[in-house]
Amino acid sequence: MNKAESWIVSVFVKTIESVSTEQDRLDMLSWLVLVREIINNPKLSVMERLKKISEISDAEETTKIIFRSVETSLKNYKNADIPLTLKIAIPVTLGAAMVVGGSGVGLAAFGGAIGMPVLVLVFLGAAGITAIFESFFSSKASQSYIGVVMALIIKDELYRRANKQMQEDMTAEPLQPVKMNVPNDDIEKLKKSLWEMDVFAFEQHVMSFFQDQGHLAWVTKKTNDAGVDGFAKHEQGLIVVQCKRHSENNLVGRPVIQQFKGVIEENNAFRGYVVTTSKFTKDAIESAKLNEKLILVDMDQLVEWHVNAGLKI
């Protein structure tokens, strides 16, 4: 992300921080989560994304008020306390955003109170919205993140698809994913770091890869009987993740996979991942092949996530 784009992200963050009530902040952040999901959908054209964003925005008066403030800040970049070189770069970036979908897409095609800010968000992409979240939550208590998670889970269909026990597990002490500092440039040191990582820190680290892909992700501090350590919200449904921070020779066996397949099916999950720092037994791999929703990630694949910029859902 260049400096102009980073400045635009900071405008969104400062505007959200300036909102007077916590509920309005949560409403705005929840809306941004849904926008990120739409932008992150490769099956949609730019115009289709804008249309869907418009559909979820019409009733959000809080969003319109906040975005009027964002629009004012974007238009007044010349008066901002920023370096001259950045002031020169910003209009180029804003100009690119205004034609994000080609010459036929602009404020006239998507007007109203949230026209310019939404076009800018589509231009920044899912990574830009993720940057807004990361910047906001790094300066605020994690309670805000938990509030967004709870607000979206409770009103989302994926919550209603899960059984009662899973609904309780999903909301049991949810915490934000955190990417740990690991040596990605040295594979052996990376593996050693993962093997030595605290178990709960490993769960937060694994779920950060789902967050990096533009999905709302969280971990649950409370141990649950279903063996689910992390969750991610995908447009097609719930993603459940089990993390096994095992030593190199402590392979994950068939019983673990059998149980987790049951969790996936009983809760109508879109996909399930078992992520380990070791490997899987032959029987475990054969069992997993019988369920197309289940993905096994061993140490070699986990290293690939680090080296080649994450997973592909």
pLDDT at 167 over 70: yes
The rounded distance, in Å, linking the Cα atoms of 99 and 120 is: 10
Average pLDDT over residues 143-150: 70
53 backbone φψ class: left, alpha, beta (φ>0; ψ -120 to 50): alpha
User: What pLDDT score does 143 carry?
Assistant: 60
User: What pLDDT score does 108 carry?
Assistant: 45
Q: What percent of the chain has pLDDT over 70?
A: 87
DSSP characters for 241-285?
A: EEEE---TT--B-HHHHHHHHHHHHHTT-SEEEEEESS-B-HHHH
Task: Break the chain into its structural domains and give their ranges.
Answer: 3-140, 160-307
Per-residue burial over 50-83, b = 16 or more CB atoms within 10 Å of its CB, e = otherwise: bebbeeebeebebbeebbebbbebbeebeeeebe
Q: Measured in Å, how far apart are the chain's first and last C-alpha atoms?
A: 23
- Confidence class of residue 53 from pLDDT cuts 50, 70 and 90? confident
Q: Hey, what CATH topology would domain 160-307 get?
A: Trna Endonuclease; Chain: A, domain 1 (3.40.1350)
pLDDT at 312 over 80: no
pLDDT one-digit tens code per residue, 97-146: 776 655 445 444 455 556 778 888 888 888 888 888 878 877 655 566 77
- Confidence class of residue 227 from pLDDT cuts 50, 70 and 90? confident
pLDDT one-digit tens code per residue, 3-52: 888 998 998 888 888 887 877 887 888 888 888 888 888 888 888 888 88
pLDDT one-digit tens code per residue, 172-188: 777 888 889 999 889 99
